Amino acid sequence: MPGRPGGTTEVITLGVEEEFLVVDAATGALVSRSDVLLPPARSVLGEAVAEELNLCQIEVATPVCTTLAEGRHHVAALRRGLLDAGATVGTGIAATGTHPTGSWRAQQVNAGVERYRRMEDVYQAVARQQVICGCHVHVGIPDPEVAVSVMNRVQPWLPVLMALSTNSPFWQGLDTGYASYRVQVWHRWPTSGMPPQLASRQAFDDLVGDLVSIGAIEDATFLYWFVRPSVRFPTLEFRTSDVCLSVDETVAIAGLVRALAWTEAKAAVAGSPVTSPRHEVSDAAMWRATRYGVDELLVSPVSWRPRPAADVVGELLDHVGEGLEANGDGAEVGELVAGILGSGTGARRQRAAFAERSDPEDVVARVLAETDPGPVPAVAP
């Protein structure tokens, strides 16, 4: 069974979580007002919207989707719901991994949530600096053994997904030189980065137990790996990407993640050997992806040598081609990825906005314009 171990369908389900920065509707400035936005947003979106660690962040989650068309509809509808709710209280949202001008020093941890109070107490400045936003994609893999095997197998390709989603070049008003500075901030958590290669679900559970016993984490939800088994859902959660500037990019990443999971689940069920480089090599490949995005060389998971980014993205598309077709996503994802390579990721487009007049406010305006999904597309019955 290639798609869902133990099941009968070849389609893997997916769900998307997007984190956004809360901004002043008039100026685009970063503001600690998610507590003001949450009540009207809940009246529109219900439990699909949630609080986050800092009061300048808010998160939404789609329901379980079986098609990319469903995913697109819900991603756009959630963005629209937040914008419409925010219009009643003077807030907007910004789909960027870091705010182009805002400073973490002016923000506040969400002390109204006990979990977040404890996190600030334990992690101090690291928690306060996490004014960053990612996009998480869940794929349905009910068999916990296969989920762990897929976690092992996807790791060589995670830097390519990262490169395609880079959308955080600015930090506190400065161009960092990175396509994704969010990841540099995120790496300050003690359990972030590439997961270890684990032999079984029991090995995963044992590792979680060891980390809990030494006080490093409270439970498995404090593992901030690039990919991890969910402890709440029968899914594998991909946490690699910056939140994407546009809905199109979010849909592209979701489709690629699902196809990659399908491909590696098929290999796991077939008992194919796992081929992964040393952890240091994977880390270096990820660093290059966050530094340059798709505007320079990436490390090829085929040759393990630097190659032009477009060629490495092509290798990814080839690798997951059967998975894309099995889930009915081939044509759409191919077109969307071509668009990213042509127009650049959010990082390139943010820099292009700044280059016009060297005015960071132009970057904020570009981010807010692209965050808006426009009309919400319908889903065919």
* pLDDT at position 249: 98
* pLDDT at position 11: 81
Residue given tokens 């679900």 in the structure block: 201
Exposed/middle/buried for residue 117 (C-beta within 10 Å: 0-12, 13-18, 19+): middle
The answer to pTM > 0.85 is yes
The first and second tokens of residue 188, run together, are: 């300050």
* pLDDT at position 380: 64
| pLDDT per residue as tens digits for the range 202-212 | 999 999 999 99
Identify the sign of the CA torsion 137, 10, 157, 372: negative
- How far from 317 is each of 15, 43, 107, CA to CA, in Å? 21, 40, 40
Q: Are strands 192-193 and 235-242 parallel, antiparallel or unpaired?
A: unpaired
* pLDDT at position 10: 72
* Domains recognised in the chain with CATH numbers: 14-371 (3.30.590.20)
CA dihedral 234, 226, 217, 35 (to 10 degrees): -80
* pLDDT at position 330: 96
* pLDDT at position 230: 92
* pLDDT at position 381: 60
* pLDDT at position 155: 97
Name residues of the chain where pLDDT drops below 50: 1-9
* pLDDT at position 276: 82
Residue given tokens 């919207």 in the structure block: 49
* pLDDT at position 56: 98
